[in-house]
Amino acid sequence: MAATEKQWYVGEDGCISVGVSASAVTYHSALNSIIVSTKEPSVKIYDVASGALLQKSDLSANTTDAIHAMYLPGKDKVVFADDQSVGARNDLRGMLLLDTALQTPVSRSEDQVKVEIPLAEAGQFHKALMNAELPGIDHVDEVCKELEKKIDAVQEATKGHLKAAKWATICLKLPFSTLKTVCTGLVNEMKRLSMNNPGLSVASSIGDRLNYLLPNNGEGWSNTVERSMMYSEVARQKTFRTWPHMNYKWALPDPMSQAGFYHQPNSMGDDRAMCFTCNVCLVCWEPTDEPWSEHERHSPTCPFVKGEYTQNVPLAVTYGSQPAKRHGENEEKIECLSTTATENFVATSTLNGNIVVWSVDKILKKYCQFNLDPSSPVIALKTGVQIERQSTGSPSVSESVNGVNSVQDETDARLEERPEKVENGSSPEGSEEQPTATTSSTVSPDTVYELPQEKVDKSDVQKTRNRTM
Ligand SMILES: [Zn+2]
């Protein structure tokens, strides 16, 4: 019988020694590799075809317990969790940025942060810094020295190991303000001199990562269109919430933002779209207009259209490098990381029944948080597992695995309900994206777009394109 996608089969019987006590194994089908969680804590990535160790990392986990790891095939995403935090990683050109997967944002600009970049990009960043003249920009030497030290160490460690070299990354550990000052200074200087080389893209992507690592410094832009942030495809995508042409064939939010456009209407129903780098401004989009073609037709010299290196930070880079988020503010441990009834959400739970539902469709986001009583008879009725509450107030789980599953099942059940029905629930982060629909498997929050209140009367609009450079 031929194997279908849902069936497991043994292609070749074999065994890989991981050397330490393993707590869980996850298969990453897109990378054809296995992710082994160990109790150190660390994860090890093995190439399935050769058995070669591709990378080992502690993920910046804070605890001494094992790390949870779960691959979501439909999203091509790995979700990690330690005792306190949850992180998500899409692959970045065939590799995962593991060393920062569980790094959470900092609260002060003087705090030390880690920025992880592939080895090749580290070389490009170093070259750009060495070639640039940055008078008046502090800390350039400090960043250059850190780069040189890390590049040398990684090159030495991966010498002669071709597969491991492909996964080689360097992890800069410096104060947030140091990296931010140097990256901003370098990007501004390269833009001023129109130096469209790889160093510009790398410096820009590091700057973008830093915005997420000090949230008040960047994640709060979502309700206003700040042109200076539009180099990020994620930021451009968010501007299209009131795009008036959701029924068009090509000129839709995702293709538009991928083609460099962001939406900046002057009035409700306005379809004014601008490029993040060349300043072309297009209005009166037609149903069959294709974003890339229109961009090229109206701005053929745009460096982004010409395929040159720009400040652009694609979705894949943001999704592959985003920081982790904390389950809650107290020290209660995450006991369970689970899938839910839909692919767009995962859930984490503590033993006391504090549950967070995470949206993993795009940027990892806390969707809702609520409490349930794991010793409640309602849960026992549903799962057949009775959890007794001890005098300390903590639940006693006689069958720990089943106990965790009972929480997980209840979470799935809650996902069928409207968010306002959850008990003791807190508001999801980023209320601007709060869905109004139920989170059933047929309705995705991020596919619900707000349609304009008024439709544009095309007869009143001049049928020509405005172009400003
Ligand atoms: Zn352009």
**Region(s) of the chain under CATH 1.10.1170.10:** 230-318
**Residue 231 Cα to ligand 1 middle (Å):** 11
Instruction: Compute the mean pLDDT over every residue in the chain, rounded to the nearest whole number.
Output: 80
Sole residue written with tokens 């839910």:
340
Helix (H) or strand (E) holding 210: helix 198-213
For residue 298, how far is its CA from the centre of ligand 1 (angstroms)?
A: 9
Write down the pLDDT at residue 48: 87
Domain with CATH 2.40.10 in the chain: 13-94
- pLDDT tens figures, 42-70: 999 999 888 888 999 999 887 777 799 99
CATH topology classification for 13-94: Thrombin, subunit H (2.40.10)
CA–CA separation, 51 and 46 (whole Å): 6
Whether domain 230-318 has CATH 3.40.640.10: no
Question: Model confidence over 122-153: pLDDT tens digits?
Answer: 999 999 999 998 888 899 999 999 999 999 99
pLDDT tens per residue, range 165-189:
889 999 999 999 999 999 999 999 9
Q: Helices (H) and strands (E) in the chain — how many of each?
A: 11, 19
Ligand 1 centre to CA of 197 (Å) is 17
Of residues 28 and 419, more confidence is placed in 28
Burial class (CB in 10 A: 0-12, 13-18, 19+), 93: exposed
Q: Which residues contact 190 (CB under 8 A, 6 or more apart)?
A: 128, 132, 196, 197, 199, 200, 203
Report the predicted TM-score, pTM, of the whole model to 2 decimal places: 0.78
Task: Tell me, in angstroms, the distance from the centre of ligand 1 to residue 252's CA.
Answer: 17
Query: What is the chain's alpha carbon radius of gyration, rounded to the nearest angstrom?
Result: 24
Taking the centre of ligand 1 as the mean of its atom positions, its distance from the CA of residue 274, in whole angstroms, is 8
Tell me how far the alpha carbon of residue 226 lies from the centroid of ligand 1, in angstroms.
17
339-367 pLDDT tens trace: 988 889 999 999 888 999 999 999 999 99
> Ligand 1 center to residue 83 CA distance, Å?
45
Output the CA 426–ligand 1 centroid distance in Å. Answer: 41
Cα-to-centroid distance, 278 and ligand 1 (Å): 4
Neighbour-count burial of 347, counting CB atoms closer than 10 A to its CB (0-12 exposed, 13-18 middle, 19+ buried): buried
Distance 75 CA to ligand 1 centre (A): 30
Residue type, 253: P
CB 105 within 8 A of CB 113: no
Using the 8-state DSSP alphabet, how is residue 278 labeled?
A: T
Q: What is the residue type of 337?
A: L
Separation of CA 18 and ligand 1 centre (Å): 49
Q: Distance, CA 281 to ligand 1 centroid (Å)?
A: 9
